[in-house]
Amino acid sequence: MDDQAVGTLSRAFNMDVFLRVKSLLAAQFGEAVVVGEEVAGLQPALIISGEWLPQVCLFLRDHEATYFDFLSCISAVDNGPAAETFTVVYHLASIPHQHQLTLKVMIQNDRRLDNLPVVPSVSSVWRTADWHEREAFDLMGIYFEGHPDLRRILLPDDWHGYPLRKDYEEAETYHGIPIK
Amino acid sequence: MSETPYQEAQRAYEARIAAIGAEEMVINMGPQHPSTHGVLRLQLITDGELVKEVIPHVGYLHRCFEKHAESMNYGKTIPFTDRMDYLASMNNSHAFVMGVERMLGIEKQLPKRVEYIRVLVCELNRIASHLIAIGTYGIDIGAFTPFMWCFRDREHIMNMLEWASGSRMLYNYIWVGGLFYDLPVGFEARCAEFVQYFKPKLAELDELLTNNRIFVSRTANIGVLPADVAINYGCSGPMLRASGVKWDLRRVDDYSVYPELEFDIPIGEGEMGHVGDCWDRFKVRVEEIKESVRIIEQCLDRLTKALKRTADFDPRALVPKKVNLKAQDYYVRAENPKGELGFYFVTQEKTDIPKRVKARGPSFHNLSVLPELAKGVLIADLIAILGSIDIVLGEVDR
């Protein structure tokens, strides 16, 4: 990379990268791995089948045409009580190629607190996913299978519930202290 | 209290701490320890003077930014972004505002003067933030004078930004579509005066701290972070650049008016020890201050000549009454003093309240590499490593 390396956001997030990744994944894992795509917005996103996620991420990290070596962000999104789905969004960036990609995983879930939505952990691919996933577990209640240490991170260890869910109701008290 | 499910990891952690034998000792550093720069608790498992493992406990300053952002419109969220990295409020709101503007599609229509003022105040804030990083790092290592000097110079910046925005640290100055106000009359001249005052002070700081033998021996070859580990742990900003990776989003994404400005990207070169050691992280910040001064000079030049203030200039001309967005999602990232600050928006139809706003704080991920860096170091070196990461707990905990 040189000083004058120029790139715009539109280039970083462009459709070429998106389409190339899509065909690479289809060639490597079969058509079933990409279950959908969102191309209407400013940043296209690939919807990946959850069970393939760690393999897909490892492939995208190490393949010479993609090299998504930097995981920018993992965001868990609650699609509302009516939808009964959660989305986990992965924003990947490539430092050598200077491009970006959005991956999404959709999970059906009945929102019961003893039945959390399950997504395979990608902390074996990017170590930074460790804290991202702990945060998503803590605030949204997504269970990341295979995570080495899935404890709460921002809230106290004995907190009940997952506050970023749309149907979260605050407790009246915490250790006998009124908090409402 | 009933046992909640999904507690296996918590139980395993508690069992591990309980099982620690007589040779090892568990030491709590924080949450009120001065060298943790806020309310961070580090649990050290030590063997004599050696740190075998560090377990960071964060969240003491959690203020539910993301939950708040889901309950109010985009403009009202800007003051909350100020409170994330409270040492660089301008940069936070700049990133947030850029995201909303791009979703609205108005980022190309912004007047040049607005963009240059934004960059000017952001770079002033970057200097202020790095001055704190440098000053408090000195005090961590035991040098008190640089701390006072850095705070003295930072105070000039605080006063200028207070003059522009009305508030000392939490500005709410950059708005969606424009600015709160134009710069006050005479701001450019005072800023130019500050630059003249500040440049020799940087040389003094170099003599006092950067090349100080005691300081160098405390920081060189300590906490070496290889580039691949830094990338894998999501480190960004000076932390990543000190490991020799030339990655600055101001150049990579070319946002705002940065493509029109000349500046270099300093990276760690291992001048005193090894690439990616504590001294390199410190040095990168010092060099970045010098680059920011260069950017400020160029901004001032343009703001006083080609983009001079005119009587009819309205920095709020493009500020929307209501942010009307179609349902979409957008991830925006910008180069904060600490690293890559990202906001992920999920918007809803027919309302100006977002469905989800996720903030990616650079300090959070820079801190997550600490257990890796601290394996097998001396307790005294752990302080040096922690200081070199330059965390702000307001942003770690959000």
Q: How high is the pLDDT of residue A91? A: 92
Interface contact A160-B4, CB threshold 8 A = yes
User: How many contacts (CB atoms, under 8 Å) link A and B?
Assistant: 125
A79 is a domain residue: yes
Q: Is the pLDDT of residue A88 over 90?
A: yes
At A10, the pLDDT band (50, 70, 90 cuts) reads: very low
Residues of A in contact with B364 (CB under 8 A): 131
**Contact between residue B99 and residue B77 where contact means Cβ atoms under 8 Å apart:** no
Nearest C-alpha neighbor of A89 from the set A138, A21, A38, A28? A38
Q: Residue A92 in 3-state DSSP?
A: strand
Q: Residue B251 in 3-state DSSP?
A: helix
Dihedral pair phi/psi, residue B124, rounded to 5°: -60, -45
Number of domains in chain A: 1
At A13, the pLDDT band (50, 70, 90 cuts) reads: low
**Contact between residue B70 and residue B355 where contact means Cβ atoms under 8 Å apart:** yes
Residues 23-82 of A with CB under 8 A from B: 40-43, 45, 69-73, 75, 77-78
Q: Which residue in the block uniquely carries the two structure tokens 């203020």?
A: B63
A123 is a domain residue: yes
At B3, the pLDDT band (50, 70, 90 cuts) reads: low
Nearest C-alpha neighbor of A41 from the set A66, A8, A18? A18
A3 is a domain residue: no
pLDDT, tens digit, 9 for 90 and up, residues B237-290: 999 999 989 899 988 888 888 988 999 999 888 888 888 899 999 999 999 999
At B156, the pLDDT band (50, 70, 90 cuts) reads: very high
A36 is a domain residue: yes
A108 is a domain residue: yes
pTM of the full predicted structure?
0.89
Say how far apart CA A15 and CA A37 lie, in whole Å: 12
Q: How high is the pLDDT of residue B4? A: 64
- Residue A133 belongs to a domain with what CATH number? 3.30.460.80
Write the CB contacts of A76 (distance below 8 Å, at least 6 apart in sequence).
A86, A87, A88, A89, A136, A139, A140, A142, A164
Q: Is the pLDDT of residue A58 over 50?
A: yes
Kindly state whether A171 is in contact with chain B, defined as any CB-CB distance less than 8 angstroms. Answer: no
Report the phi/psi class of residue B79: left, alpha or beta, with left for phi > 0 and alpha for psi in -120 to 50: alpha
A2 is a domain residue: no
Query: In Å, how far is A171's CA from the nearest CA of chain B?
Result: 13
How far the first Cα of chain A sits from its last, in Å, is 53
Say how far apart CA A171 and CA B134 lie, in whole Å: 42
Q: What is the mean pLDDT of residues B60-81?
A: 89
Residues of B in contact with A149 (CB under 8 A): 9, 12-13
A100 is a domain residue: yes
What is the pLDDT of chain B when averaged over all its residues?
Answer: 88
At B12, the pLDDT band (50, 70, 90 cuts) reads: confident
Q: Is the pLDDT of residue B124 over 90?
A: yes
A48 is a domain residue: yes
Write the CB contacts of B69 (distance below 8 Å, at least 6 apart in sequence).
B77, B80, B354, B357
- Domains defined along chain B, listed by start: 10-57 (no CATH), 65-385+392-397 (1.10.645.10)
What is the pLDDT of chain A when averaged over all its residues?
Answer: 84
Q: Is the pLDDT of residue A7 over 70?
A: no
Say how far apart CA B78 and CA B67 lie, in whole Å: 14
